[in-house]
């Protein structure tokens, strides 16, 4: 991956000036490159990594495995597109292995999600079965340790 | 009652404790300090090396090795040195594996310096040279490098300090704390001064892998220098192996033969497990070194630029993982600056004068930290500078 993208993945809030210094180039060149990545859709947006347990204590997240019957002409795409339209759904991916679509969904509480799966997802034409797994605890998200002291620096504060 | 004051060696009693110690104590006691103060990599030792050490323990290779170190390791070191600085050392008679670069420095100085000998020490520099020289009865003679020369040693400065008593020149490049390097041209000039003398060079090249934009050049590569040089290097900085305590020295056989005695009696042999792990480092982990170097380089540019923007001017350091910004514009001494910064913004950096008087007016900032960590520290320093205006 391009080194600019790697730096933005580490921290999208680095300023263009800072990025230019790191990469030994100009602010203008960084701005242009970022624009290009945005236009090409390589950079799709900028978002924050939250500790949901602290930001919104009640949110519940579930990981849902869905088995479907692929449809003529469009395979899995149409079903995936239908599922991803729901606001509750955060991500949809087509998987190899024991099931077809992996969906993460979140809601205010367990019941909300359970009803969402029962009433919305499992009733979609082509869906054969669903298996819902609720997230009990998250340990690492986007490379960041959650609910743990990220500062695991064993070194002493000052040394020659 | 024993009078401890009376029984202790007066030379050791007269040695000043390291100037870093005080900051270590304050920083350790203060809650929420973020540090740019360490002299060791933040990367983990590459996994293959750690794995090798585990295997070494499992297969019970936990006994003494030959005094000078495992022969396989010495052979690998010879190959590595040949590849990196194109100089050949004979593994069985010219290489000793030591407990870090530190032990190599200690036993070399003690084997060479006699009471009354003058030892030229290029400052600012790492803290151990002068105390060891003093313990050997030698006289440390600092040569102060200057910012206008990018903290390089100049031939004229060297010439000025040479007397009939000069025995040894300590040449620590890439330099801790300044980040300065010596290029081949710089070293040619130095060699010119040394060529017709009996002066020995102790070249501490522990940061040799960490140079940016150009390859490290060793003084042993210059004509006539290998025969008078003790070359010191190790695994700590290049392979992120500080805690493994493994370094080495390469020198002409007549020197090694004597220095090895001291190593033999004081140490017996370097840690066996670390030695096996080091073979793995040299044979399979050079790619990891290059990855670390390119990551350091990004941080180096970020930090240098950051300090220059804050008005604490910073010459462009081409080696090690330190920048050495000038804080004279604040009107504070180095220690005052570091203390105030630590108390008011909880950022730990090291005062430049801890590395010799010529470091006064500067601070040593390490960039062996993640970019986000450095970024946070820089914004705290920015606030600090606004407040003291």
pLDDT digits (tens, 9 = 90+) for B160-179: 999 999 999 999 999 999 99
B181, B373, B371: which is closest to B295 by C-alpha?
B371
Q: For residue A150, name the pLDDT band (cuts at 50, 70, 90).
A: low
Nearest by CB to residue A160, choosing from B126, B298, B302, is B126
Q: Is the pLDDT of residue B130 over 60?
A: yes
At A151 the pLDDT is 58
pLDDT tens per residue across span A43-68: 999 988 888 778 877 789 999 999 99
Q: Is the pLDDT of residue A157 over 90?
A: no
Least confident segment among B26-35, B306-315, B333-342: B26-35
pLDDT tens per residue across span B71-100: 999 999 999 999 999 999 999 999 999 999
Nearest by CB to residue A155, choosing from B40, B127, B302, is B40
Using DSSP's 3-state secondary structure scheme, residue B97 falls into strand
Please state, in angstroms and rounded to a whole number, the distance separating the CA atoms of residues B372 and B378: 10
At A43 the pLDDT is 96
As a whole number, mean pLDDT of residues B97-117 equals 98
Contact between chains at B24 and A157 (C-beta distance less than 8 A)? yes
Q: Is the pLDDT of residue A103 over 90?
A: yes
Pick the residue of A10, A19, A49, A160 with the most B CBs within 10 A to test the interface with B by mutation: A160
As a whole number, mean pLDDT of residues A28-40 equals 96
A159 vs B contacts (CB less than 8 Å): 20, 24, 37-40
pLDDT tens per residue across span B169-213: 999 999 999 999 999 999 999 999 999 999 999 999 999 999 999
Structure tokens at B59: 């297969």
Please state, in angstroms and rounded to a whole number, the distance separating the CA atoms of residues B115 and B68: 27
Residues in chain B: 389
Distance from CA of B6 to the nearest CA of A (A): 30
Which A residues in the span 140-159 are in contact with B, Cβ-Cβ below 8 Å?
153, 155-159
Per the prediction, chain B carries an average pLDDT of 96
Distance from CA of B71 to the nearest CA of A (A): 31
DSSP string covering A18-50: HHHHHHTS-HHHHHHHHHHHHHTTSS-------
As a whole number, mean pLDDT of residues A12-29 equals 96
Q: Is the pLDDT of residue A40 over 70?
A: yes
Q: For residue B29, name the pLDDT band (cuts at 50, 70, 90).
A: confident
pTM of the entire structure?
Answer: 0.87
Distance from CA of B371 to the nearest CA of A (A): 8
pLDDT tens per residue across span B311-346: 999 999 999 999 999 999 999 999 999 999 999 999
Task: Identify the closest residue of chain B to A15 by CA–CA distance.
Answer: B375
Per the prediction, chain A carries an average pLDDT of 90
Using DSSP's 3-state secondary structure scheme, residue B248 falls into strand
| H or E, element range at B82 | helix B71-85
The answer, for A87 touching chain B at a CB cutoff of 8 Å, is no
As a whole number, mean pLDDT of residues B290-297 equals 96
At A142 the pLDDT is 78
Q: Is the pLDDT of residue B354 over 90?
A: yes
């Amino acid at each position: 991956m391009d080194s600019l993208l790697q730096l933005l993945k580490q921290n999208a809030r680095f300023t263009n000036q800072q990025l230019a210094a790191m990469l030994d180039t100009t602010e203008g060149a960084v701005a242009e490159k970022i624009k290009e990545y945005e236009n090409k859709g390589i950079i799709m947006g900028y978002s924050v990594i939250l500790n949901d347990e602290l930001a919104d204590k009640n949110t519940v997240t579930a990981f849902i495995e869905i088995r479907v019957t692929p449809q003529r002409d469009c395979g899995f795409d149409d079903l995936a597109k239908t599922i991803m339209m729901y606001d509750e759904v955060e991500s949809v991916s087509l998987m190899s292995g024991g099931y077809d679509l992996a969906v993460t969904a979140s809601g205010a509480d367990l019941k909300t999600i359970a009803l969402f799966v029962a009433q919305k997802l499992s009733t979609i034409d082509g869906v054969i079965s669903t298996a819902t797994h609720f997230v009990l605890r998250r340990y690492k998200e986007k490379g960041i340790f959650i609910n743990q002291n990220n500062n695991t620096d064993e070194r002493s504060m000052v040394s020659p | 009652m024993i009078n401890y004051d009376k029984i202790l060696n007066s030379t050791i009693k007269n040695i000043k404790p390291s100037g870093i110690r005080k900051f270590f104590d304050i920083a350790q006691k203060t809650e929420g300090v973020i540090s740019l103060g360490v002299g060791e990599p933040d990367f983990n030792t590459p996994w293959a090396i750690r794995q090798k050490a585990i295997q070494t323990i499992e297969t019970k290779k936990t006994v003494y090795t030959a005094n000078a170190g495992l022969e396989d390791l010495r052979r690998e070191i010879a190959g590595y040195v040949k590849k990196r600085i194109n100089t050949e050392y004979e593994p069985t008679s010219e290489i000793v594996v030591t407990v870090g670069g530190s032990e190599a420095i200690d036993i070399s100085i003690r084997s060479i310096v006699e009471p009354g000998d003058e030892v030229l020490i290029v400052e600012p520099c790492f803290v151990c040279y002068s105390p060891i020289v003093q313990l050997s009865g030698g006289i440390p003679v600092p040569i102060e490098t200057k910012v206008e020369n990018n903290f390089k040693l100049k031939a004229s400065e060297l010439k000025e300090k040479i007397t009939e008593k000069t025995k040894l020149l300590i040449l620590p490049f890439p330099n801790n704390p300044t980040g300065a390097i010596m290029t081949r041209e710089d070293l040619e000039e130095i060699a010119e001064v040394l060529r017709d003398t009996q002066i020995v060079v102790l070249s501490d090249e522990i940061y040799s892998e960490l140079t940016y934009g150009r390859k490290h050049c060793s003084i042993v590569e210059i004509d006539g220098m290998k025969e008078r040089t003790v070359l010191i290097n190790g695994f700590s900085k290049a392979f992120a192996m500080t805690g493994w305590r493994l370094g080495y020295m390469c020198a002409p056989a007549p020197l090694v033969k004597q220095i090895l005695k001291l190593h033999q009696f004081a140490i017996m042999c370097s840690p066996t497990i670390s030695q096996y792990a080091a073979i793995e480092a040299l044979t399979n982990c050079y790619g990891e070194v290059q990855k670390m170097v390119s990551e350091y380089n990004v941080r180096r540019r970020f930090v240098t630029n950051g300090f220059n923007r804050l008005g604490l001017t910073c010459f462009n350091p081409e080696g090690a993982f330190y920048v050495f910004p000038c804080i004279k514009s604040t009107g504070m001494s180095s220690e005052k600056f570091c203390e105030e910064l630590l108390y008011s913004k909880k950022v730990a950096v090291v005062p430049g004068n801890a590395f010799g008087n010529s470091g006064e007016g500067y601070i040593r900032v390490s960039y062996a930290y993640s970019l986000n960590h450095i970024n946070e520290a820089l914004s705290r320093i920015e606030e600090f500078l606004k407040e003291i205006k």
